[in-house]
Amino acid sequence: METETPESPLSQLRGKSLMGVQIEITISVGKARLSLSDLVKLESDSVLQLDSKIADPVDVYVGDRLIARGELEELDEDNGNLGVRLTEVADLSEGL
């Protein structure tokens, strides 16, 4: 006798109208820390030094939930568009 495994919340949505909903994804490339006095001195053309390098992995978030990690990749040299090549993806079977 076969027992059916329950579907994950995400797989239950497949084929339903919610699958067309747009979700905003945030890519975190690094952080900067500065004093309040340095913050108020910021102006156009100021440069903030991040705690990461260009080749370091980036984090991919939906809201505050980490869903993946990846590497920055230049998609179009002419326009300078960036993308993220995913190297790790979280198990989303429990939902977002």
Residue ranges covered by each domain of the chain: 21-89
The pLDDT tens digits for 18-59 are 678 889 999 999 999 999 999 999 999 999 999 999 899 999
Class level of CATH domain 21-89 = mainly beta
Regarding predicted confidence, which is higher, 20 or 65?
65
pLDDT over 90 (residue 14): no
The mean per-residue pLDDT over the stretch 64-88 comes to: 91
Model pTM score: 0.69
Helix runs in 18-62, H state only? 36-39
Contacts of 29 (CB under 8 A, 6+ apart): 50, 52, 56, 58, 72
Where helices occur in the chain by DSSP H, the ranges are 9-13, 36-39
Question: How far is it, in rounded angstroms, from Cα 4 to Cα 73?
Answer: 41
